Amino acid sequence: MDTVKRRLNSTRGQLETVEKELGGWTPKTAQEGQCVDWFKFTLKEELDKLIRLSEEWLIRKVADHEDEKGRITEIFERINEARVQFEKLFFNGLTPSRIADHKFHLESEEERRVRREVCTPGTRVRILDDIITWAKNTSPGSPTVYWLFGQAGSGKSTIAYSVARRFEFAGDPNDTIILGGNFFCSRQFEETRLSKCIIRTVVHHLALKCRAFADQLSDADFETVDQNVRAQLEDLLIAPWQASKPDRCSDPLNPPPHYLIVIDALDEIDGTGGSEFLRVLLEVLDTNEKRLQGLKFFVTSRPDPNLVGLVDSFTSKQLYRLQHILPEEAQNDIRTYLTAELPHFAGCEEFGNLVALTAGLFIYAATVVKYLAKYEPSEQQSILTTLLASSSSSNLQSLSTGEAFTSLDTLYSQILDRAFRDFSPKENGWEVRRSILHTFLCTAERTSTSVVADLLFISDDVAEKLLSNLHAVLYCGEHGQVLTYHKSFSDFILDQGRSGNFWCNQAMHHRVLANASFRWMKDGLRFNIANIPSSFVLDVDDLILQDTVEKNIPPVLNYSCRNWSYHVSSAPSINPDGLHDGLSDFLQLHALFWIEAMNLLRLRGLCGSMLRTAYDWVISSQVMNAVAVSPDGKQIVSG
């Protein structure tokens, strides 16, 4: 009976808390409203049942009866089920990334954009054993952070994915740590390339794993989800974790599990956000060691000498373990991988040379596999022979000196040479195709072959064929956008010393795209572009407006309207400068039509910031007689 009374008080307290917290709260969706209503109804209904039981005078005599015990148990189970469902809804306020979770099932286009695989059996054995041993060592002297860093394409993400799967699904009875949260960064999706999404996602995962932490997190200020990483770490992770310690460690004879946090590929975060995130994380962990006892962090990224220096400056160096994936260690693993993917080459002399050429880069091996996949076995042999022949002795020698990208550069060069083989660099057809390639990589957002072709005023067929010929490094997404398999290809094209004739002068190509945008807007924008018959009908009441807008503002004009300022601001100023003339002409003759189009695209709010961007570019280029814009972007003077 005492147990019933305690649960009665607990349930009554939960109900009062829920009603208090939800006072004045408006659900964002009908599903949220139904979930909350169901939770409140369940609590009230089960509470009433418990009260009726407690008021029965026979309860003391029959409490031990199996039927009565069963009824009470069922009531508590229903209450707990309702609580769990409500907590899931409540913690969705953290707006976690679903795609960043290793358990997210990638399908079709998503799977092509981000390929997550565990290590091929028999590969990465030593490094995986080292990481697992570190993670399972929960003694006070064990480092809190394991930072795994290596060059692009060295297989860090596959290792991180294997670690996450190991501690989520394949743990053994002796494990003292479980996966608490994870975040797999990727530039292919918006929610996985923003640093502000990492902590709130990890915290969401941890709350679903650790009840004591979830109870404390429910009192946190969720407005922090949109603040900087340092604020998120303090308010959403450190403070609730520290406050949960009494409940987590209530039984000294039964120590609580530790939790592993996996954060992969921080170099995929936009700009310098990944390095800055890791810097803040390391600094915060260095100063909050005791407050975060019970948590361990496994992080991967590209090498960052500045961060190595930062770690060396910390007083508690024993907290950190820096582990570098060495190319020579990866050779045997890559041999195993290529044997599984290209079994018909295993054992031949060319196969051994191919393994040597990879220089420890898994991205090299994976690109070769994609490159050969489109061809018949007889053609594959010829292509592989050409690749090996093009790798000069100087290239092979450079591998021993640590210049691992030489071999990858050779592979990328051969792929490009084969795609451009119908033309010489002096021919216009060659230059057109190079402009297509550069546009694939320089647009403000990844877009389709048709938009790329329109921006260059060429046939879509030419862009489509080039994309097909570059299938080993580029692919077409579900919505038609052209994407790269790996950032190392973009890095190669944007580095003149590596890509030679294929080099993209990014700043100058932005001039090409800015001028193309102005040309499309000059020819395409006009008054009442959507052919709206009456100014007395509100846009929201016009049922066919959206179809009309899509018909009269084609994709390339849509792109130009939204992104001209991005290309202008990224372009260098040249004197005399036709780009300034194009901007001046646009502002004098087409700006009002552009604002109308942006309004129809429901992007009117961006107009001010885009004009401000153009103003800043004009000021920095010191061509003051061309265009003047007021600092608030509301007044434009051109001419």
What is the residue extent of each domain of the chain? 2-94, 108-325, 329-419, 428-502, 533-561+573-638
Q: Minimal CA–CA distance to 301: which of 465, 149, 480?
A: 149
d(CA 406, CA 404): 5
Query: What pLDDT is recorded for position 399?
Result: 43
Q: Which of 18-32, 84-98, 477-491 has the highest mean pLDDT?
A: 477-491
Mean pLDDT, all residues of the chain: 81
- The CATH homologous superfamily for domain 108-325 is P-loop containing nucleotide triphosphate hydrolases (3.40.50.300)
Query: What pLDDT is recorded for position 539?
Result: 62
Q: What is the pLDDT of residues 420-458, one digit of tens each?
A: 988 888 888 999 999 999 999 999 998 999 999 999 999
d(CA 197, CA 95): 8
Q: DSSP states of 513-575 as a string?
A: HHHHHHHHHHHH--TTTT--S-TTS-GGG-TTHHHHHHHHS-HHHHHHHHHHHHHHHHSPP-S
Tell me how long the chain is.
Answer: 639
Under a CB-based contact definition with an 8 Å cutoff, are residues 85 and 35 in contact?
yes
Under a CB-based contact definition with an 8 Å cutoff, are residues 277 and 198 in contact?
yes
Three-state SS for 479? Answer: coil
266 CB neighbour count, 10 Å cutoff:
24
The residues near 454 (Cβ < 8 Å, ≥ 6 apart) are 460, 520, 554, 555, 556
In this model, does residue 213 exceed pLDDT 50? yes
Tokens representing residue 409 in the block: 């550069």
Q: Minimal CA–CA distance to 361: which of 118, 152, 115?
A: 152
In this model, does residue 323 exceed pLDDT 70? no
Q: Which CATH class is domain 428-502?
A: mainly alpha
Threshold 0.85, pTM exceeds: no
